[in-house]
C-alpha cells in the first residue's frame, strides 16, 4: 500500500506542476497579445496622423483653403504646412499681399524638407493604398514647382523691362534738362544801350548804324566807307569841301572818257 500511495502522490504532484506550467504559459500568451495590441494601436495612431498630414498636404497642393490653426500637429509641422500653403496659394494666410515666384519656390523647398520624413511614412508596407497617395503627392509637387519656375522667368522678364524703361525715362529727362540749359545759355543778354559816368544819370547810348548791306537771303557785305566831305583845322568848325569838277566827258549812253588836259598859258613869258 505504501508503494502505491507513493506512486499516486508522485503522479498528483506531477499533474499539479503541469497545471502550473500551463497557467504560466497562458499568462505569457495573454501578455504578448496585449503588447501586440498596444503596438498595433500605437502604429495605427501614428499612421492615422501621417495620413492626416498627407491629406492636408494634398489639399494645399490642389489649391484648397485649409484652416491650419486647429490641427493637432507639432510646431515644426505647423510652420512647414503654413509655408507650403503660402507657396501653393501665392500669399500668406489671412493676407492678400502676393508673394513672388522666387520666394514661393524657397517656401516650397523649406516645407518639403520639414515634412519629408512624415510623408515618407505613407510608404509603410503595413498601410494599404498609401503608395498611391505618395505618388500623387510627388506628382503634384513637381507640377507646382514647374509652374513656379515658369512664373519666375516671366516675372524676371517684366522686372528687366521695367528697369530698362525706367533707365530710358531718366535719360530722356537728363537730355531734356540739358536742352533746356542749352536754350538758356543761348539766350545771351544783349549789351546795355545805356552809358554814363559813375555817379551821373545814365543816358541812352547813340545807336551806331550798321556797316553791313545786302539783299534778303544773300550774305551781308561790308559797306565801303565814303570819304568825308568835311575839312577844317582842329578846334575850328568843319566846313564842306568844294566838290572838284569831274574830268570825265562823253555822250550819254557811251563810255566816259578822260577830258584832255589843256596846258596852262600862265607864266609863259616870264
**pLDDT averaged over every residue in the chain:** 74
Greatest mean pLDDT range, 50-64, 100-114, 156-170, 222-236: 100-114
Which range is most confident: 11-15, 36-40, 149-153, 234-238? 149-153
Burial (CB count <10 Å: 0-12, 13-18, 19+), residue 105: middle
Q: What is the mean pLDDT of residues 174-203?
A: 64
Helix (H, G, I), strand (E, B) or coil at 98: strand
* Between 178 and 84, residue with greater pLDDT: 84
Pairing assessment for the beta strands 203-204 and 212-213 based on DSSP bridges: unpaired
Instruction: Tell whether the model's pLDDT for residue 110 goes beyond 90.
Output: yes
Helices (H), 130-193: 130-186
State phi, psi for 100 to the nearest 5 degrees.
-70, 155
Across residues 5-32, what is the average pLDDT?
66
Q: By C-alpha distance, which of 49, 50, 54, 52 is closest to 137?
A: 54
Whole-number pLDDT of residue 37: 46
pLDDT exceeds cutoff 90 at 141: yes
Q: Is 214 left (phi over 0), alpha (psi -120 to 50) or beta?
A: left
Using the predicted structure, report yes or no on whether residue 239 has a pLDDT greater than 60: yes
Whether the predicted pLDDT of 23 surpasses 80: no
Average pLDDT over residues 130-150: 90
**Which three cell numbers, joined as nine digits, stand for 69?**
490653426
Confidence of residue 212 (pLDDT cuts 50, 70, 90): low
The SS3 call for residue 195 is strand
What mean pLDDT do residues 243-259 have? 66
Residue 156 has pLDDT above 80, yes or no: yes
Mean pLDDT of 161-183: 69
| pLDDT at 174 (0 to 100) | 67
**Does residue 123 register a pLDDT over 90?**
no
C-alpha dihedral, 115 to 118 to 122 to 127, nearest 10°: -160
Tell me how far apart the alpha carbons of residues 237 and 188 are, in angstroms, rounded to a whole number.
42
Which of 146, 56, 149, 36 is closest to 100 using CA atoms? 149
- Indicate whether 270 pLDDT > 50: no
Based on C-alpha coordinates, what's the Rg of the chain? 60
pLDDT of residue 131: 81
**In which residue are the cell numbers 501621417 written?**
50
3-state secondary structure of 127: coil
Would you list the DSSP string of 15-55?
HHHHHHHHHHHHHHHHHHHHHHHHHHHHHHHHHHHHHHHHH
Amino acid at each position: 500500500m505504501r508503494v502505491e500511495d507513493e506512486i499516486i502522490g508522485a503522479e498528483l504532484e506531477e499533474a499539479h506542476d503541469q497545471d502550473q506550467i500551463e497557467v504560466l504559459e497562458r499568462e505569457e500568451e495573454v501578455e504578448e497579445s496585449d503588447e501586440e495590441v498596444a503596438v498595433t494601436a500605437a502604429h495605427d495612431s501614428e499612421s492615422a496622423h501621417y495620413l492626416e498630414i498627407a491629406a492636408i498636404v494634398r489639399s494645399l497642393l490642389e489649391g484648397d483653403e485649409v484652416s491650419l490653426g486647429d490641427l493637432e500637429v507639432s510646431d515644426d509641422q505647423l510652420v512647414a504646412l503654413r509655408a507650403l500653403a503660402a507657396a501653393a496659394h501665392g500669399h500668406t494666410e489671412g493676407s492678400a499681399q502676393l508673394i513672388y515666384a522666387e520666394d514661393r519656390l524657397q517656401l516650397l523647398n523649406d516645407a518639403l524638407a520639414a515634412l519629408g520624413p512624415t510623408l515618407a511614412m505613407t510608404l509603410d508596407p503595413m498601410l494599404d493604398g498609401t503608395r498611391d497617395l505618395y505618388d500623387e503627392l510627388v506628382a503634384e509637387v513637381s507640377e507646382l514647382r514647374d509652374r513656379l519656375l515658369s512664373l519666375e522667368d516671366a516675372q524676371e522678364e517684366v522686372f528687366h523691362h521695367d528697369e530698362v524703361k525706367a533707365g530710358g525715362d531718366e535719360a530722356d529727362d537728363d537730355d531734356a534738362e540739358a536742352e533746356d540749359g542749352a536754350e538758356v545759355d543761348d539766350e545771351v543778354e544783349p549789351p546795355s544801350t545805356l552809358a554814363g559816368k559813375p555817379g551821373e544819370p545814365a543816358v541812352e547810348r547813340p545807336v551806331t548804324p550798321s556797316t553791313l548791306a545786302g539783299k534778303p537771303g544773300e550774305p551781308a557785305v561790308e559797306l565801303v566807307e565814303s570819304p568825308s566831305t568835311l575839312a577844317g583845322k582842329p578846334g575850328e568848325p568843319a566846313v564842306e569841301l568844294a566838290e572838284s569838277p569831274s574830268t570825265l566827258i562823253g555822250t550819254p549812253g557811251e563810255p566816259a572818257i578822260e577830258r584832255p588836259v589843256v596846258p596852262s598859258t600862265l607864266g609863259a613869258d616870264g
